[in-house]
Structure 1
Amino acid sequence: MTTTETLNAGATAPLSLSEQERMVEAVLFASADPLSLRDIASRLPEGSDVAEALESLRARYESRGVQLTRVGDRWAFRTAADLAFLMKESTVEQRGLSRAATETLAIIAYHQPVTRTEIEEIRGVAVSRGTLDHLIELDWVRVGRRRQTPGRPVTFVVTENFLDHFGLESARDLPGLAELRAAGLLESRPPGDAGIPLQPDLDDDLIDEPSTEDLFEDE
């Protein structure tokens, strides 16, 4: 046997797409949390096309009771939205949101990254530290970067857990302004306000992230 034949005999045959799908499926089912493409790729054999396997797997599960869902830049299996009613009996709501927390969360989701002062201007009332603390404890809101403006105020943005809880792939999938008003979430907005944008306005003038202790020192 020649040297070339020996190398070829020892080479590992490339995995088929169906084999890669099975591996991705197994990794996602075994994980309690959504996984990024990089997380999944680190567990599959070298040379696997994880992105293609995910898209193929998502199409395969599209009409099933469990579907492959993208949450931000991560992936997870979730119950199909139209079957959510089957899970209601096993769902326990431990702590509801106050009106102030609901309005604050909606403003952060649509205007992120947004400062506390901007939240107060939109709501027309002061935002208590407890309201923001509660949203942060739920892991629905986190501290963003500081604005490169006088005082360098901190900003707030929603988390991937927020997107996952509400079944959203990204903030662009949030309901429209009319739907929020119909739900009574925007009644306190100033009459002259043009409304919440359908796509988050990501500023370019943001720099280093602050520590949690700095949250309320700058505004």
Structure 2
Amino acid sequence: MNLNDPKDLAQLLEAFLLASGKAQSLERLFELFEEGERPEPEQFKAALEVLRLSCEGRAFELKEVASGYRLQVRERFAPWVGRLWEERPQRYSRALLETLALIAYRQPITRGEIEDVRGVAVNSNITKTLLEREWIRVVGYRDVPGRPAMFATTKGFLDHFNLKSLDELPPLAALRELEPEPELALDGDAEVPAGLQARADLALQDDGEAAEPREETSFRSLLAELDTMEQGLKTDFDDLRLADEDEAGESDEAVEDDLADLDGDQPLH
């Protein structure tokens, strides 16, 4: 095999990607070659272009995502290919998707800020699910009382949604067009099932007192609010971690000084 020939190299790269079953970065592909046989970066790029063109008219495509390159079935075949698995794909709740949209378009963002926009409390299972799926991560802590965690999306999020970077997120105007028209309201005099009413009353109870109901923001309104904040998404949050470490060090010194002052003020017996 002539590794200097883009066609031969393209076939080898195809074999690598098929065998791995997941996205591979250029750096990782470089490492798979011995130093003496490793093609030049320009040859790699030429071979990837040959591979991409060879996929035209076929059921799969070469896709570049945040983690690198991968071979994947074209989206139009998904309804049929999905029948290979007996288990139905997991469906996510509207609340989870709204939370994910807020994190994606307004990152970094805290749980409290998400609740302020949506108008309802964020169930802890939602953030737990997103963290377990590695779609979001904690990138720092807001410098306010309680120091709430700030969330941002991950490379796993970009890979799952076939995105190379956050710049490829669809415009919010396009998402708003997908929002279905609101359904007609139910008759206000209709009787609410007793079991459902009991569960609703229980959810509103807080130490025996009913909490003030909060009006949930519609997804369309949420997207409209996000529209004004779509530009300038932050993608590198390492500086937040460094700032938190500095603040934590200063906080420890202040606590030690306060303890020393308290010891000096102790009354004599």
TM class by shorter chain equals 0.7 to 0.9
Give the letter aligned to residue 133 of structure 2.
L
> CA RMSD, aligned part only?
3.1
User: Which residue in the other structure is 1:78 paired with?
Assistant: 72
Give the letter aligned to residue 240 of structure 2.
I
User: Which residue in the other structure is 1:8 paired with?
Assistant: none
User: Which residue in the other structure is 2:5 paired with?
Assistant: 16
Distance 2:73 2:230 in 1: 26
Contact 1:71 1:169 (C-alpha < 8 Å) held by counterparts: yes
**Pairing partner for 2:38 from 29, 37, 46:** 46
| Identical counterparts, % of pairs | 33
**Correspondence 1:67 to 2:61:** yes
**Correspondence 1:100 to 2:82:** no
Distance 1:203 1:57 in 2: 30
User: Which residue in the other structure is 1:136 paired with?
Assistant: 131
User: Which residue in the other structure is 2:16 paired with?
Assistant: 27
User: Which residue in the other structure is 1:183 paired with?
Assistant: 179
Contact 1:142 1:156 (C-alpha < 8 Å) held by counterparts: yes
Alpha-carbon offset, residue 170 of structure 1: 3.0
Contact 2:3 2:9 (C-alpha < 8 Å) held by counterparts: no
Comparing 30-39 with 50-59, greater Cα deviation is found at 50-59
Could you list the runs of 5+ residues in structure 2 that have no partner in the other structure? 181-217, 245-269
Alpha-carbon offset, residue 31 of structure 1: 0.1
Alpha-carbon offset, residue 198 of structure 1: 4.8
Q: Taking structure 2 as the reference length, what is the TM-score of the superposition?
A: 0.61
Contact 1:108 1:158 (C-alpha < 8 Å) held by counterparts: yes
Alpha-carbon offset, residue 204 of structure 1: 6.9
**Pairing partner for 1:201 from 213, 217, 233:** 233
Contact 2:102 2:226 (C-alpha < 8 Å) held by counterparts: no
Q: Taking structure 1 as the reference length, what is the TM-score of the superposition?
A: 0.73
User: Which residue in the other structure is 1:10 paired with?
Assistant: none
Q: Structure 1 pair 203/141, CA: closer, same or farther in 2 (3 Å)?
A: closer
Alpha-carbon offset, residue 52 of structure 1: 3.3
Distance 1:169 1:202 in 2: 15
* Residues 59-89 of structure 1 deviation map (CA, whole Å, 9 limit, x = unaligned): 3324321100011141110111222232132
Q: Structure 1 pair 204/14, CA: closer, same or farther in 2 (3 Å)?
A: closer
User: Which residue in the other structure is 1:56 paired with?
Assistant: 50
SS of residue matched to 2:159: helix
**Which structure has the greater CA radius of gyration?**
2
Alpha-carbon offset, residue 36 of structure 1: 0.9
Distance 2:12 2:28 in 1: 13
Alpha-carbon offset, residue 201 of structure 1: 1.1
Distance 1:103 1:77 in 2: 30
Alignment length (residue pairs) = 196
Contact 1:67 1:77 (C-alpha < 8 Å) held by counterparts: yes
Distance 1:59 1:198 in 2: 34
SS of residue matched to 2:29: helix
Comparing 48-57 with 196-205, greater Cα deviation is found at 196-205
More helix by share: 2
**Correspondence 1:112 to 2:107:** yes
User: Which residue in the other structure is 2:249 paired with?
Assistant: none
Comparing 153-162 with 104-113, greater Cα deviation is found at 153-162
Q: Structure 1 pair 106/93, CA: closer, same or farther in 2 (3 Å)?
A: farther
SS of residue matched to 1:104: helix
**Correspondence 1:169 to 2:169:** no
Contact 1:70 1:169 (C-alpha < 8 Å) held by counterparts: yes
Distance 1:188 1:125 in 2: 14
Alpha-carbon offset, residue 160 of structure 1: 3.0
